[in-house]
Structure 1
Amino acid sequence: MAHKGDHVPTRRQFLVLSSTAALTSLLSEAPASAAADPAQPYASYWHPATILDWDPSTDRDAKYNRSTVPLARRVVPARPANSHARPGEARVQALVAYAPTSFNPAQGSLDMHYYATNYWQYIDELVFWGGSASEGLILAPNPTVTDAAHRNGVRVIGNVFLPPTAYGGQIQWVRDFVQREGDRFPVADKMIQVARHHGFDGWFLNQETAGGNAQLAADMRDFIVYLRRSGLRVIWYDAMTDTGSVSWQNALTARNQVFFEKSDEMFLNFWWSAQGLASSAALARQMGRSPYDLASGVDVESNGYNTSVGWASVFPEGKPHVTSLGFYRPEWTFKSSTGPADFYARDNRFWVGQNGDPANTTTTASWKGIAHYITELTPITSLPFVTNFNTGHGRKFAVGGTVRSTQAWNNLSLQDVLPTWRWSVTGTGTKVTPSLDWDDPYDGGTALKITGTPQSANDVRLFATSLAVTAATQFEVVHRTGTGPSRLQAVLRFGDTEEVLDLGGVSGAWRRSVFPLGGHAGSTLTEISLRVLPGAAVTALIGRIGVTNPVMTTPAAPSDVRVEQVSRTGTGTVAARLTWTRAPGTVRQYRVYKAGAERVFLGGTANDAYFVPAVPLASGETARIEVEAVSEAFDVSAPARVTLAEA
């Protein structure tokens, strides 16, 4: 029983939150055209019996469902924003449902309306939530989600949902799940194969089907051991106990410790208490485990940052954190919003707090923002680092300052690393306001916008970095302003030393400024800020910031571009499946265009297979498709070409 003051959801168990009904509401949001397009690849899902038949060589969508972005290394900033937050203690799990279980486009879609996860710096693991009895129980994450998470150093975990009988669960499915063949678990073997092919990091096991016994529990324990031997991470949900029954403990107890002992982490059900968490942490330590391998569950699906949470039970003031934190459905910030601007405002308040500044979380509100407790982490630890502030969705798509598509889109594979601090502005008096702007991107769908009339020099802290500088290293900024001087300076921090670089000039068009950093060779660049000098009103757009060791050679082009399938989607458009052979060396992404008098951007991926949802093509017309390799520094290869026409 939960105690007063602790997190108490409405009277429902995790099973209701995971129900078919909840996912049906998501299913209703699937694009009407999704099921109608025979070429569209979808994210993968199975029942325990059907996954045994999965083979990437025969699954026509398998090649479109692969993430190839490696997991980035992250570090604590040299100067964390919030002195109250405690580094190296609690971690954050986020259980997120991005889309319906079925008809979930594998590589994004032509719609800006999408939960573009932005605050990776506070998240350690993202669980790809979903599943239903009628559709599938074992879900592999979209490669787009894994690409974005890995670029930010966040592990991605697939989901297994064995539902309660009230929501269609069948105890036979659980038995099928843990069935043995000699010393093997065939379903686990397939889950290992799926994770390695798709490129994600582990599995979340949510077993809530009643009717089990002690033998089934023992089989599940052995299944976990077998699965973890592969090197994949396993997160266990607090539901099934050692007797095989489903009994939410809301704590680590003798009833569920056998599963925690064999797993990497456990997500505790929501009805926890201060006493229960304290005893859980103590038992974890007795077992030789970190208490931060336990995530105290908080259900924010219905109320987001209006949810009542017993924060002091997890994060006691002035003391070490008790456990880690697990958020169930933080995409509330998106689903409750009225549009992109509202979503970004809600998301900022959820993660940073109502002051909108991770350095200032002082408030009388009970929800102070996760930045109040959790120290941000940065994945910017190796050269080159280049960001165009691309959030992974937009109203248009620009390339090098020229708009190449006016089609709305979402594709998290193309998301850049976004500012570490959103937003931290120092200065006295009236300050400037930073924001992300979808109207005038430089490359991708978004630019950084700074507006206002500063009464003093304002420093906009942007990126925490840990970049070793060489004699060849250079810093670049692409920006533009309205009328009048930009009054912008870049401030680079090397330990206790700052270098101020004047961006200067009047710039009605995009302007690239490049500064050699060889004078700091052997030092570590730890922070990138922008300074706005006082004066009249300023409106500045920053399209790119980069720290690179330039190379004289552009990346090699991909080769052997092939059209797998073409299908007409309208009187003037077709959809197409494309594949190619990867370019040698490191490639950040591939971009696909329709060539012509005006080059049209069609989409992009880090993969070597891409579904183009809409190619402008009249009946009988032939189009020339071009695929370019883009390096981490956004150098571009020569195009590889293929001709596209209806069969």
Structure 2
Amino acid sequence: MNRSTIRKVFSSKSTAIALTSAMLISSFASIAQAGDTLPYQGESAKGANQPYQHGYTSSNIIDWTPESDVYGDMLRARVPLQKRIGSFSATQAYPKLSPKTQNFTLSGDYGNAFFDSYSYTNEFSQYLFNYWQYTDYYGSWHGMPTAEVPEELYDPNKDWTEKWFEFGILNLPNPAYTNAAHKNGVLSIACIFFSDNDRGPQTYKQMLVQDENGEFPVAKKLVEMAKYYGYDGYFINQEEVSKGVAAEDIPRYKQFMKYLRDQGIYVQWYDSTLNSNGQISYQNEFNAENSPFVKDTELGQVSDSIFLNYWWNKDKLKNSSEHAKSLGLDPLQTVFAGVEGGNGDFGRWKQKYDLRLNLDDQGQPMNSIATLGADFTQSALDEDFGGADLNRRANDDYQWMTFVRDRAWWSGPNQDPSNARRNAAVDLSDVKGSGANWDGMAAYIAERSVIEGANFATNFNTGHGLAYYVNGKVSNPKEWSNINIQDIPVTWQWWLESKGSKLTADFDFGPNYNKGSRFTYQPVGGFNGGSSLVLNGKLDADNFLHLYKTELDVHKNSTLSISYNKPSASDKSTLSVGLIFKDHPDKVVKVKIPDSGKQTEGWVTRNLDLKTYKNRTIAAVGLFIGKSNKPVGDYQINIGQIKISDGSSVKPAAPTGFRLTKNLTNTGEMGVAWNIEDYSKVKQYNLYENGSYVGGIYDSVYYIKSLSKKSGKLSLTAVGADGTESEPATLTYDLNDAVTNIAVQPQANGQAVVTWKQPEHAVGPVIIKLTTEYTDTPFSKTFTAQSQDESAILTGLPTNGDRYSLDIVTEGGALSTYTGRLADNTIEPYAKENVTVKGDTYTLALPTLKDWHYVYVYEDNVPKEFGVTYVTKKFPYILRGRTKLSGLTFTPDSTTSSLKLVIEDYAGNQATTILR
């Protein structure tokens, strides 16, 4: 079957009704405004050329190529999945808890942004996940418009029902989140979602098309996309309620999933179970109705696991475990009991379905656990505090609330993973939490870690900040978010032991950070990155803070380095790095820091020898604060870096191939690239502008939103396993020598008028080159202008609306870049063969043009009207993304009338197809 025939199969069969799915409550429908991440304003607003993600229809997936996907070259995850160390119960917060229970976290990544989902940006308040240690699979739950949807169609102030554009059935994981997940040994999962309302006329049938060989073209492309973008699997949420899935299509659906799984792709199925008639029937347990979507009697295993709907009880969970075992499946690998974050019956922390019901007689989870919407800790700040007047979720001053609420969700209301069970005495009123009705996830999921070998370094960098610090000094004063460069999170937040008063622990983001009234420390800021670890409070007894679960081998050359800052007055206290060795886990070995009770004037670094402990394995790393000779009322110490190394981590070589790819002089943006080294040698690349930190990533490309100076030097360093930076590769730039004020006016006749302003001392000709981008049919045009010229006319250009990049290079080699779109005055008519006629009834397949917007159906030149999802409105056209699926099937009023279709694209071009 050829591609055009495949597309013909994309006809829609089922009728949409109002969706009542459990999966939608927290992300869509009535509380969508609370969950949506609105576009940032001012300096944090999206750059004119900032790469961002988009969604995909089934047609988009079939047509997908790496070259044609918009910004695809800038949005790849490159960090390979890291191996986790084995379990070691002696250092667990709950030593008796089985480490086999898994967690699937389905949540917003940096939030739930529609046109603003990017890998990194200059905004502190983006949601940053910091609990990878309790997570085995992370899926980015999003609503993303498909590629090329004009952003002017989006009014962020309108309700979800008033978003008149198309969302994709496929959302890819944010690549930065995939990198962070892989760094922590977590699989990164994409989401496939079908529903009657939210995805308009898109249906599973368009995904399950088969070619002449019986193979699934969409499934093949999904495998290609996962490998190219670097993620690991798919969460499939089939919730077309009105007609479900045709019974005859159920075997094909299973075959589709099995193909993905057979290619090494992880597949999780949601418990929107299809009964024998194909109707949705939430089982809320694993049983004979839904288990064939995991393990089929004829096909064998077709998916890896199932996310159970939320309305379970003790018996259902017990039956689920037993049913899995009866099929030869491990319930802790296969069955995930669903929990809806922030959607309790009596408040966000009052979950009706208590995870204690998932415990067997020995207190061990019977099934694994899946959660939807754990990012409510930030996304629901406005709703929880009564309105969005302050837009708390995007306001830097309220992020401390997010951090506390996060710890309540993961570590429990006591903010202590060793005491994660709920306690009515805990006061979380200042963050709208309730300690009486929620056990932290740490009560059920044993902590994991990837920290092994002989080298480990942490700067306690959470992946965002109000400034960026290098060696304790502000390198860049701008706020930022970039989970690509997040350190391995602290394993236990916060497991602090003391026989007296306990110190408080927090991440210190510096003097511009609003830490909330519950914390009293003096803000210091970070050492390397955006934050440091701070311990503060009354010191009247020894305190031990458990930090990292590890499997670090100590050799004869092993050393320990610690950088700290003690702003509180000198006292007789002591600071030690506490090591727990695998061969003696009941003892904390204290590696004392000399003179650590003295007040410091800023950051100090101490290097200590570990050879005494050679041939032993460190199972955990912590901090021991020894009490002073008398109580200290306001003790404070900040830890900026801890490094353990045996010298085997080789300083990386300077990066090669460092080059400027785009110099967008009109907007001040830049693109740079270099040759990427294997992850075993380089863990990250750091980019600097005139010595000021710009950003970091493990990749071969980077987008620069703005520079602080018009000329200078860009430096790029490679970072090794112990945090050591290479010598820099450098690149000089001088915007004073570059062409500025570029303007391009594409014409309908295939010409474009290009104007620019020459630099002051221009000599010699300039080379102008226009190249189309993100297309399978590349086009390039080069023109030479003289030094006195400041305009040119390019001819023979396509008129299909393609994106292009225009480079102007002066004789001295200075590059200037301008991006835009070519004129668009062409449109392909709707193919008549994509209309199915049965008797008097016509069914339209969805158009496959990338930029179609409306389809008008005229009967005797009178437009027919079509209903849309969510609301009772009707429009005199089929509206992309919002017309009801049922609207694609219609019966003319007369058997003798004339019928024609008019398709219109985003640019307003129209083409007519005569049906009769």
User: Would you say same fold, with TM above 0.5?
Assistant: yes
In the alignment, the residues of structure 2 paired with residue 15 and residue 105 of structure 1 have an alpha-carbon distance, to the nearest angstrom, of: 20
Against the structure 1 CA distance between its residues 184 and 550, is the aligned structure 2 distance closer, same or farther, given a 3 Å change threshold? same
1:115: Cα distance to partner?
Answer: 1.6
Deviates more, 1:561-570 or 1:328-337: 561-570
Secondary structure of the residue aligned to 1:31 is coil
1:371: Cα distance to partner?
Answer: 1.6
Deviates more, 1:466-475 or 1:242-251: 242-251
- Corresponding position of 2:636: 539
1:60: Cα distance to partner?
Answer: 5.0
Gaps of 5+ in 2: 1-18, 146-165, 296-301, 382-391, 393-397, 425-435, 511-524, 739-815, 817-916
Kindly report which structure 2 residues correspond to 1:32-47, keeping only aligned pairs within 5 A, or say none: 32=41, 37-47=47-57
Size of the aligned set, in residue pairs, is 627
- 1:28-79 deviation digits (Å, cap 9, x = unpaired): 5123589964421112421110122222133352222122222222232453
Against the structure 1 CA distance between its residues 278 and 291, is the aligned structure 2 distance closer, same or farther, given a 3 Å change threshold? same
- Corresponding position of 1:510: 603
Opposite residue 608 of structure 1, the aligned amino acid is S
- 1:586-608 deviation digits (Å, cap 9, x = unpaired): 2111111111xxx2211111111
In the alignment, the residues of structure 1 paired with residue 237 and residue 20 of structure 2 have an alpha-carbon distance, to the nearest angstrom, of: 19
Against the structure 1 CA distance between its residues 85 and 392, is the aligned structure 2 distance closer, same or farther, given a 3 Å change threshold? farther
Q: Report if aligned partners of 2:649, 2:722 keep a CA contact under 8 Å in 1.
A: no
In the alignment, the residues of structure 2 paired with residue 97 and residue 569 of structure 1 have an alpha-carbon distance, to the nearest angstrom, of: 33
Secondary structure of the residue aligned to 2:240 is coil
Give the alignment partner of residue 13 of structure 1, picking from 14, 22, 25: 22
Give the alignment partner of residue 589 of structure 1, picking from 667, 676, 684: 684
Give the alignment partner of residue 559 of structure 1, picking from 647, 656, 663: 656
1:524: Cα distance to partner?
Answer: 0.7
Q: Report if aligned partners of 1:93, 1:124 keep a CA contact under 8 Å in 2.
A: yes
Give the alignment partner of residue 270 of structure 2, picking from 222, 234, 237: 237
In the alignment, the residues of structure 2 paired with residue 280 and residue 569 of structure 1 have an alpha-carbon distance, to the nearest angstrom, of: 60
In the alignment, the residues of structure 2 paired with residue 556 and residue 232 of structure 1 have an alpha-carbon distance, to the nearest angstrom, of: 35
- Corresponding position of 2:785: none
- 1:146-169 deviation digits (Å, cap 9, x = unpaired): 111122221111111112x23344
Q: Report if aligned partners of 2:115, 2:144 keep a CA contact under 8 Å in 1.
A: no
- Corresponding position of 2:197: 166
- Corresponding position of 1:298: 339
1:609: Cα distance to partner?
Answer: 0.9
The CA RMSD over aligned residues, in Å, is: 2.4
- Corresponding position of 1:334: 378
Kindly report which structure 2 residues correspond to 1:169-180, keeping only aligned pairs within 5 A, or say none: 169-170=200-201, 173-180=203-210
- Corresponding position of 1:191: 222
Do structure 1's residue 259 and structure 2's residue 259 form an aligned pair? no
Opposite residue 286 of structure 1, the aligned amino acid is S
In the alignment, the residues of structure 2 paired with residue 526 and residue 345 of structure 1 have an alpha-carbon distance, to the nearest angstrom, of: 27
Opposite residue 560 of structure 1, the aligned amino acid is G
Kindly report which structure 2 residues correspond to 1:317-332, keeping only aligned pairs within 5 A, or say none: 318-332=362-376
Q: Report if aligned partners of 1:358, 1:423 keep a CA contact under 8 Å in 2.
A: yes
Q: Report if aligned partners of 2:36, 2:379 keep a CA contact under 8 Å in 1.
A: no
- Corresponding position of 1:202: 233
Secondary structure of the residue aligned to 1:276 is helix
In the alignment, the residues of structure 1 paired with residue 35 and residue 603 of structure 2 have an alpha-carbon distance, to the nearest angstrom, of: 41
1:576: Cα distance to partner?
Answer: 1.6
Q: Report if aligned partners of 1:464, 1:527 keep a CA contact under 8 Å in 2.
A: yes
1:84: Cα distance to partner?
Answer: 7.2
- Corresponding position of 2:320: 280
Q: Report if aligned partners of 1:379, 1:465 keep a CA contact under 8 Å in 2.
A: yes
1:267: Cα distance to partner?
Answer: 0.3
Opposite residue 61 of structure 2, the aligned amino acid is I
1:623: Cα distance to partner?
Answer: 3.6
- Corresponding position of 1:4: none
- Corresponding position of 1:246: 280
Secondary structure of the residue aligned to 2:225 is helix
Opposite residue 442 of structure 1, the aligned amino acid is F
In the alignment, the residues of structure 1 paired with residue 174 and residue 222 of structure 2 have an alpha-carbon distance, to the nearest angstrom, of: 15
1:11: Cα distance to partner?
Answer: 7.6
In the alignment, the residues of structure 2 paired with residue 515 and residue 215 of structure 1 have an alpha-carbon distance, to the nearest angstrom, of: 69
Against the structure 1 CA distance between its residues 32 and 100, is the aligned structure 2 distance closer, same or farther, given a 3 Å change threshold? farther
Q: Report if aligned partners of 1:266, 1:294 keep a CA contact under 8 Å in 2.
A: yes
Q: Report if aligned partners of 2:26, 2:35 keep a CA contact under 8 Å in 1.
A: no
In the alignment, the residues of structure 1 paired with residue 248 and residue 672 of structure 2 have an alpha-carbon distance, to the nearest angstrom, of: 48
In the alignment, the residues of structure 2 paired with residue 569 and residue 368 of structure 1 have an alpha-carbon distance, to the nearest angstrom, of: 53
Deviates more, 1:293-302 or 1:194-203: 293-302
Secondary structure of the residue aligned to 1:49 is helix
In the alignment, the residues of structure 1 paired with residue 45 and residue 254 of structure 2 have an alpha-carbon distance, to the nearest angstrom, of: 38
Against the structure 1 CA distance between its residues 540 and 101, is the aligned structure 2 distance closer, same or farther, given a 3 Å change threshold? closer
1:234: Cα distance to partner?
Answer: 0.3
Opposite residue 315 of structure 1, the aligned amino acid is L
In the alignment, the residues of structure 2 paired with residue 103 and residue 324 of structure 1 have an alpha-carbon distance, to the nearest angstrom, of: 34
1:240: Cα distance to partner?
Answer: 4.1
Deviates more, 1:537-546 or 1:335-344: 335-344
- 1:259-287 deviation digits (Å, cap 9, x = unpaired): 12111110011122222222222211111
1:23: Cα distance to partner?
Answer: 5.6
Give the alignment partner of residue 591 of structure 2, picking from 496, 501, 509: 501
In the alignment, the residues of structure 2 paired with residue 344 and residue 190 of structure 1 have an alpha-carbon distance, to the nearest angstrom, of: 38
Opposite residue 62 of structure 2, the aligned amino acid is L
- Corresponding position of 1:93: 104
- Corresponding position of 2:474: 403
Against the structure 1 CA distance between its residues 498 and 296, is the aligned structure 2 distance closer, same or farther, given a 3 Å change threshold? closer
Deviates more, 1:604-613 or 1:373-382: 373-382
Secondary structure of the residue aligned to 2:707 is strand
- 1:411-451 deviation digits (Å, cap 9, x = unpaired): 10110012211112222222222211111100000101011
Deviates more, 1:219-228 or 1:500-509: 500-509
In the alignment, the residues of structure 2 paired with residue 281 and residue 82 of structure 1 have an alpha-carbon distance, to the nearest angstrom, of: 25
Give the alignment partner of residue 67 of structure 1, picking from 77, 80, 102: 77
Against the structure 1 CA distance between its residues 240 and 359, is the aligned structure 2 distance closer, same or farther, given a 3 Å change threshold? closer
- 1:535-587 deviation digits (Å, cap 9, x = unpaired): 234211100112112258521111222222233576xxx22222111246621
Q: Report if aligned partners of 1:119, 1:351 keep a CA contact under 8 Å in 2.
A: yes
TM-score, length-normalised on structure 2? Answer: 0.65
1:641: Cα distance to partner?
Answer: 1.9
Secondary structure of the residue aligned to 1:413 is helix
Rg larger for: 2
In the alignment, the residues of structure 2 paired with residue 514 and residue 410 of structure 1 have an alpha-carbon distance, to the nearest angstrom, of: 31
Give the alignment partner of residue 64 of structure 2, picking from 35, 54, 58: 54
- Corresponding position of 1:6: none
% of aligned pairs identical? 26
Secondary structure of the residue aligned to 1:320 is coil
TM-score, length-normalised on structure 1? Answer: 0.91
Secondary structure of the residue aligned to 1:281 is helix
- Corresponding position of 2:727: 638
In the alignment, the residues of structure 2 paired with residue 544 and residue 193 of structure 1 have an alpha-carbon distance, to the nearest angstrom, of: 40
Secondary structure of the residue aligned to 1:614 is coil
Against the structure 1 CA distance between its residues 566 and 25, is the aligned structure 2 distance closer, same or farther, given a 3 Å change threshold? farther
Q: Report if aligned partners of 1:37, 1:567 keep a CA contact under 8 Å in 2.
A: no
1:312: Cα distance to partner?
Answer: 3.0
- 1:80-115 deviation digits (Å, cap 9, x = unpaired): 443376223421111112234642343211101122
In the alignment, the residues of structure 2 paired with residue 83 and residue 560 of structure 1 have an alpha-carbon distance, to the nearest angstrom, of: 49
Deviates more, 1:361-370 or 1:281-290: 361-370
Q: Report if aligned partners of 1:101, 1:139 keep a CA contact under 8 Å in 2.
A: no
Deviates more, 1:387-396 or 1:523-532: 523-532
- Corresponding position of 1:606: 698
Give the alignment partner of residue 671 of structure 2, picking from 574, 577, 583: 577
In the alignment, the residues of structure 2 paired with residue 402 and residue 544 of structure 1 have an alpha-carbon distance, to the nearest angstrom, of: 14
Opposite residue 298 of structure 1, the aligned amino acid is V
In the alignment, the residues of structure 2 paired with residue 55 and residue 280 of structure 1 have an alpha-carbon distance, to the nearest angstrom, of: 41
